[in-house]
Chain A
Amino acid sequence: MSATLPPPAVRRGPRLLGILSSTDHKHLGLLVCGGAFVFFCLGGLLALLMRSELAAPELQVMSLNAYNQVFTIHGSTMFYLFGAPMALGFGLYLVPLQIGASGLRWPRLVLLGFWLFLGAGLLMYAGFLTQEGAGRAGWFAFDPLSDDVGTPGTGMDLWVISVFLSVLAGMLWAASILATIIRHRAPGMTMLRLPVFTWSMVVSSLMTLVAFPALLLAMGLLFIERHGLDVFTQPGGAIFYQHLFWFFGHPVVYIVFFPFLAAGSEAIATSAGQRFFGYKLFVGSLLAFAALSVSVWGHHMFVTSSVDNRFFSLTTTAIIVVAGVEYFDNLATMFRGRIKLRASFLFACGFMIVFLIGGLSGIWVASPPLDYNAHDTYSVVAHFHYTLFGGTVFGMFAGIYHWFPKVTGRLLDERLGRWHFWLMLLGGLVTFIPQFFVGEQGMVRRIADYPETAGWTALNALSTVGAFIILLSLLIFLANLIRSLRLGKPSGPDPWDGHTLEWATSSPPPRYNFPAVPPVRSYAPLLDLKEEAAEDESSHRPVASGEGGSQ
């Protein structure tokens, strides 16, 4: 039946320019994800620079000033230029396909967002070329360190503008995704039949629209402050900045988490060949998670003596309940399945295990007396890298191995995928586990140098070794990517026996996605059709006429 789809239209002409001005959601999604992936690599290189410097006490690789720029731009890159754009970029590509739509609502706004995002990235890195260097007040840029006295220079101004632009871009993308889901669902696709990945995008987009304006405001005010008008230089101004920043800064952690959690869930359900378990509860827990996410920001401020520590400890610990539901549903989806141990499934399992370390240590730092020690030490660095590396990065790779055939029409190599997975798992453990120990012993963050007498040298050296193992795993992935783009086996429309609508069209999908959208009766419409067909066959009735593009 797949042969009935029309061949890709005449799209083989001057490709790049066409793509850079395209309003096809697939081009838009690829642009944003591709850009985010480039920044992921750049941010990773900065991390390697830092780990090289920290492998031993004293300064070997770079100056203090350079180190401050490097960790600032590493963190800023990973949130503003990689995490949020990659999460929303996945949505730009996949949401219309999953809901049976022909494209995104407001595609030109999305394209504008891409150009803002590209500008943001270039401006942030252009800071390295300025006299004083790039932004160097941390990815959080607390006032008054970030004002014109604390961190003078053009590079820091560029950083402020860059963050402003990238946040604006994220809001445009989120608005488009949300509007698409509200207005362009296929017939039969009710809100409670949206695939789990699309639900994760509903929730992430909502959080983006609620939380990002706070940072937009903070960056706007900071820019004004840096250019002569006192904004935060009032009593309480520094605390006000932190409230604004963390009101953005905590939800953003979930925005870069949910889509990849759901990517893992889709990979698990497909690999296990079973319907996703506990759908309604999962959706409810995502919504509760999002609601909680805007009530926990104060846990970043336990040591400021300015927030009600008990309140924020309570709301943060409550997250155990919603996060626990997601683990339950993923495990129950595997239960009694016929699991094909593909790379996407391995990464989804890696996500569950590696993220778990971050989640459990998150409960730890939600207890104020424990946080009085952990805050701003390497314990916290290890904690949130397990959430971001375990959640965002492992989940992203689960998604990439899962959807690469849909996007390119070719399969990634599974054997290289397994090497990539096991090395990245090993690297992730070797890099960040030692950081829990040095943090517990008091090693603070954002330092290029540490006292030799503190006894942290061996653990830091080990952590550096781990970082290079991660590098190796990523090189394997890049080799796999480049090789498979040219030589990968053709995947056909539905290589994994998928459950959701994107597998009902050709790979890559045509300009307007679906010649005909299959009927939708649940959150796994394709699985419904396949089960019906199997039943018909087992009862020796003639096979129902194939619906849509599925086999």
Chain B
Amino acid sequence: MVDTRDTWQDLFNLYLPIGVGVFVVITLLVVIFAVRYRDRGAEDDRPRRRRSHFTGAEGSYILLLALIAAMLVYFTFTEMGDDRANLPAEASTGTGELKQGGADEEGQDGIQAPPAELEIQVTAARWTWRFDYPELGITQASGGGGELTTLVVPTGVNVRFTMTSLDVIHSFYIPQLRFKRDAFPERLTSFTLGFTEPGDYPKGGFCAEFCGLRHAAMLFRVSAMEPERFRAWVTQRQLEARG
């Protein structure tokens, strides 16, 4: 299953210590140099720096920087690959047919989209969200009056999202999944997400791209359900729809 949180966490665990370490070292050097080499008046006869360049030191330092950069890029690329490739085999034998990613997806990470069990169409419009489940005949939309739309998803499987906007650019963002994607008018964007933990996500979802007056209020709820509960929810919603 796609696990964007895991990908994020792996890179977080790599980048944070390096960043903090470099910050501490350089800050210490600045402070130590400022104190140690401060001017102490006329009787100061400590040795001065004699050279104004030092090709050997400069060269090795550049090499070191290049190695660090290469390492970071390597781990980032590896994780981006895992983003797509690290899938349990049974995912492809699920109920839904195997859905290939669109051109967008391949252009994005160079890897085909993982197989998914559920398809959800996301429609963003100022300043609300709509979620359609075409295979199930369900639509989740705001009832108006500032009520938020709820995205209901099953846990433990890949969910394939196809997204568009009816007006300006919006961005679908679920902080707890560490994931966002822009929604453009007249254009489909697709991505695959997996939800590991069941329950209502306390922060829910946001529109992350500024979209005008009520951008701040363009939120949605996220409710992840274990597959059994999700099936019950689907049945109930389908009954409601037939009404």
Contacts and interface: CB of A to CB of B under 8 A. Distances in A.
Interface of A: 64-65, 68, 137-138, 142, 144-145, 149-151, 235-236, 238-239, 272-281, 303-306, 308-310, 313-314, 317-318, 320-321, 324-325, 327-328, 331-332, 334-341, 345, 349, 352-353, 356-357, 360-361, 363-364, 367-370, 372-373, 375-377, 441-442, 444-451, 453-454
Given A328-B61, A369-B4, A360 B19 contact: yes
A375 B180 contact: yes
A373 B34 contact: no
Interface stretch (B62-70, B139-147, B232-240): B62-70
Given A336-B46, A372-B181, 9 more contacts: A137-B212, A274-B52, A335-B37, A335-B49, A340-B39, A356-B23, A373-B175, A375-B208, A444-B206
B34 A334 contact: yes
A324 B61 contact: yes
B107 A305 contact: yes
B175 A446 contact: no
Nearest to A335: B49
B89 interface: no
B97 interface: no
Contacts of A336: 37, 46-49
Contact-residue bracket for chain B = 35 or more
13 contacts: A138-B210, A238-B187, A274-B49, A280-B53, A306-B104, A313-B73, A317-B72, A324-B61, A367-B72, A368-B76, A369-B83, A370-B12, A372-B181
A494 to B, nearest CB: 17
A241 to B, nearest CB: 10
B27 interface: yes
Q: Quick one: which of A278, A367, A448 has the most chain B CB within 10 A?
A: A367
Interface string B215-241: 111010000000000000000000000
Contact of B68 (A280, A320, A325, A339): A320
Contact of B210 (A356, A361, A446): A446
Contacts of A64: 213-214, 216
B211 interface: yes
Contacts of B66: 321
A144 to B, nearest CB: 5
Interface string B181-220: 1101111011100000000001100111111111111010
A341 B49 CA distance: 18
Interface of B: 4, 7-8, 11-12, 15, 19, 22-23, 26-27, 29-31, 33-34, 37-40, 44, 46-49, 52-54, 58, 61-62, 65-66, 68-69, 72-73, 76-77, 79-80, 83, 104-105, 107-110, 167-169, 171, 173, 175-176, 178-182, 184-187, 189-191, 202-203, 206-217, 219
A259 B110 CA distance: 39
Contact of B52 (A277, A308, A364, A375): A277
The 10 closest A-B pairs by CB, nearest first: A442-B175, A447-B216, A373-B178, A336-B49, A376-B208, A446-B210, A145-B168, A334-B33, A360-B19, A324-B65
Given A325-B62, A356-B27, A376 B180 contact: yes
A334 to B, nearest CB: 4
Given A338-B44, A349-B34, A361 B180 contact: no
Contacts of B61: 324-325, 328
Contacts of A281: 53, 58
B30 A353 contact: yes
Contact of B15 (A151, A309, A324, A367): A367
Nearest to A522: B52
B218 to A, nearest CB: 9
A273 to B, nearest CB: 8
Nearest to B205: A442
Nearest to B163: A305
B189 A235 contact: no
B133 to A, nearest CB: 22
A268 B235 CA distance: 71
Contacts of B48: 274, 336-338
A60 to B, nearest CB: 14
A129 to B, nearest CB: 20
Nearest to A235: B186
A236 B103 CA distance: 14
Nearest to A323: B65
Nearest to A361: B19
Nearest to B184: A238
A349 B219 CA distance: 42
Nearest to A274: B49
B3 to A, nearest CB: 11
A334 B206 CA distance: 47
A65 B210 CA distance: 13
A144 B185 contact: yes
A239 B165 CA distance: 14
B165 to A, nearest CB: 9
Nearest to A236: B187
A331 B27 CA distance: 11
Contacts of B76: 313, 317, 367-369
A331 B29 contact: yes
Contacts of A306: 104, 107
Q: Quick one: which of A151, A235, A304, A445 has the most chain B CB within 10 A?
A: A304
